[in-house]
Amino acid sequence: MNIHEYQGKALLKAHGVPVLEGVHCTTVDQALAAYDQLGSKVVAVKSQIHAGGRGKGNLYAPDTGDLVMEGGVKIAFAKDEVETYATNILGNVLVTIQTGADGKLVRNLYVEAGCDIAHEYYLAILVDRENKSVLIMASTEGGMDIEHVAETTPEKIHKISVDPNAGLLGYQKRDLGLALGLSGGAHKAFAKALSSMYEMFVSSDCSMLEINPLVRTADDGIVALDAKVSFDENAEFRHKNWDDLRDLSEEEEVEIRAKETGLSYVKLDGNIGCLVNGAGLAMATMDVIKLYGGEPANFLDVGGGANEEQVKTAFSIILEDPNVKGILVNIFGGIMRCDIIARGVIAATEALSLDVPLVVRLAGTNVDEGKAILAASTLNIHPADDLAEGAQKIVELIGGVA
Amino acid sequence: MAIWIEEDAKVLVQGITGKQGMFHADKMVEYGTNIVGGCTPGKGGQTVDLQGQAYPVWNSMFEAIQATDADATVIYVPPPFAGEAIMEAADAFDTIKGEGVVVCITEGIPTLDMVKAVAFVENRPGVRLIGPNCPGIITPGEKGGAKIGIMPGHIHAKGRIGIVSKSGTLTYEAVAQTMSIDEGQSTCVGIGGDPVNGTGFIECLAAFEADPQTEAIVMIGEIGGNAEQEAAAWAAENVTKPIVGFVAGATAPPGKRMGHAGAIISGGKGTAEEKFAAFEAAGIACAKDPSELGAVLLQSLKAAGLR
């Protein structure tokens, strides 16, 4: 789960990490009031969306598609500039390298005081899958695309692996500060900020905390100038405040609805809907559809113990996508019995008056009973014995290779 | 032989009085697994009825292992408590026996809980953690065998193919594929689809290589991370037995989590293409469609003079 920069900064501030004064706004008037309130001559006017690359992105009018402004993050030197930038940002669509061509409608703005920057650094805390531990990454090359730095000058990225039993240790903070070339007051300020960030990462169950740039100010302070924060959704049960931080307008509505009923759904661009049990098998089903010339319309895992109602919900979610021209059901019954799935499929097709071709592949527990139930129905259901046959059949039924 | 779990292994069930725990404990007994009881804090002294027989419940894993000399435990505890259940089991096995296998089925454990639990287990080198978010481990026997997890027992048969996989139902698919060419399995291990887990591919490959019962290996990966690439590179140097592989997620879009917490292509890394290429570079025979795993395995067995 991702949150906005302004929310991430509030969290950083609450944990004692220095950030600049700023105000979250949703209207141009609020942005102007924020400028007066901050009392800073120079302010940053920043689009708030759940995607990176905002500064280098472009804003387009949602109705005409015309270019409104280049750059989703602007520095304003006077109040009238704040007005221009806020007007150009709010209600328009920001397209960045990370949003895809459709971009994202900007509903939130952050107006932030300026500061004198002496140097920009990069800092990130994340879970390292290979070492099974929390990893801290820092670089003197702040404000740049860190993947580019990693490729071209990997020696400029410094890493610390935190022992989960010991926590982040004093020498690790000191060493990392020295590796960044910090000394004196800035070195101390860095160690303190890093402690606070690590504490926030752990206590807030973050999966990613990225500060790019983290800056050293002219007076040797350390300030988080940007904040990209995401949380580990598995830990939601112990963070009741996440409900207030979640911006549903940034998430796919249908994916949220699927999740609420215990289904895992991701929409894709093809025309063959899939309904599968198990994440690995669901991915493999998409892959095999593609292998036989079709294009999957979605990823959908109904889980290990789906009931008739969930199967019905799964069908209705698949059919909401107007591109869907056919559906492939692929179930390997383990705990889930094929006869129950077969009944669920029949109930769902009847209830939803399904009018696209349906191929059902059943295997595993009670497969014979399941197949018999499907065969006895008068509905237009095409059986398949294995995944390859199922994929070939559905590709043929919707009119051949795409 | 088989790996880590012998077909008559003594098995405990953590969370045995819960709905999931009891349901699956019953299925395990039905399959022939040597269940010796279970553990639910606060319910010690009770019994649980499985397949018409009463099984004892203990308050703690220390009590349970002391009383039963169990070899393994399987965890069906809800996510908020599962990390601690792993550590309790590891501590008890290590203290009492110096060894033990902990299988965690639970899906949805917070990642930082797993970081802590995995470090805790790694400090106890005799203890092996399998999972979490996995179907478990099964060693099919002559009659029954040891099914420790949620996989459908009846699709398996004792044999010489070792299977290791990140995914549940896709593992069943692989099992069915071995059966389609009249081959059974030595041991099937589901290592789970979480970003931070216990036993990995390399440990499974090493154990299969050392196991005289295993003559060929099926390895099923998926997008996300680079465990498959590392395992392939390791296998090229260290595994002499034929390996057949598949990777799920060739059509998965970048940046989207595909069901499993760990199944995500991030920063362009961890794609199926990358993993298939690593497999092929290591001489692993790949199926691009899991329905062809059987045919590819048959070819590999023939090439190795095993058929």
Write out pLDDT tens, residues A130-182.
899 999 999 999 988 888 888 889 899 999 999 998 999 999 999 999 999 99
Q: Residue A328 and residue A13: Cα distance in Å, rounded? A: 50
Q: Which residue has the higher pLDDT, B268 or A60?
A: A60
**Is A122 in contact with A227 (CB distance < 8 Å)?**
no
Three-state DSSP class for residue A247: coil
Tell me the C-alpha distance between B103 and B151, whole Å.
13
Going by the DSSP 8-state scheme, the letter that residue B143 receives in this structure is: S
Per-residue pLDDT, averaged over B200-205, amounts to: 97
Q: Which amino acid is at A39?
A: G
Cα of first residue to Cα of last residue in chain A, in angstroms, is 35
A50-65 pLDDT, tens per residue?
998 899 999 999 999 9
Q: B2 is written with which tokens?
A: 């088989």
Q: Does the reported pTM lie above 0.90?
A: yes
CA dist list (Å): A123 to A176, A180, A184, A224: 10, 10, 19, 9
**What letter represents residue B184's amino acid?**
G
Q: Note which residues in 160-199 of chain B have CB less than 8 A from chain A.
A: 165-173, 176, 193, 195-196
What interhelical angle do B201-210 and B227-238 show, nearest 10?
A: 20
Minimal CA separation from B207 to chain A, in Å:
20
Q: Please name the residue ranges forming H helices in A247-337.
A: 253-260, 279-291, 308-320
Please report the ipTM that was assigned to this predicted complex.
Answer: 0.92
- Residue for token pair 């509030």: A10
Instruction: Choose among A147, A364, A386: nearest Cβ to B172.
Output: A364
With beta carbons under 8 A apart, name residues in chain A contacting B168. 278-281, 304, 334
Alpha helix segments (H runs only) across A144-234: 146-152, 170-179, 184-203
Mean pLDDT is lowest, of A22-31, A364-373, A387-396, for A364-373
Read off φ and ψ for residue B67, nearest 5 degrees. Answer: -75, -30
A122 is catalytic: yes
For B30-56, what is each residue's pLDDT tens digit?
999 999 999 999 999 999 999 999 999
pLDDT of residue B73: 98
Catalytic residue among A120, A141, A210, A250: A210
- Round to whole Å and give the CA distance between A112 and A115: 10
Mean pLDDT of A106-120: 95
Radius of gyration of chain B (CA): 19
Sheet with B216-222: strands ordered across: B145-149, B136-140, B185-190, B158-165, B216-222, B243-248, B285-286
**3-state class of A329 per DSSP?**
strand
Is the pLDDT at A304 greater than 80? The verdict is: no
Using CB atoms, pick whichever of A163, A289, A334 lies closest to residue B150.
Answer: A334
Q: A5 versus A365: which is more confidently predicted?
A: A5
Cβ burial A221-235 (10 Å sphere, 16+ → b, else e)? bbbbbbbbbbbbbbb
Catalytic residue among B24, B154, B156, B260: B260
Rounded percentage of chain B residues whose pLDDT exceeds 90? 93
Name the average pLDDT for chain A. Answer: 93
User: Which of B112, B135, B259 minimises the CB distance to A301?
Assistant: B259
The yes-or-no verdict on residue A402 having pLDDT over 70 is no
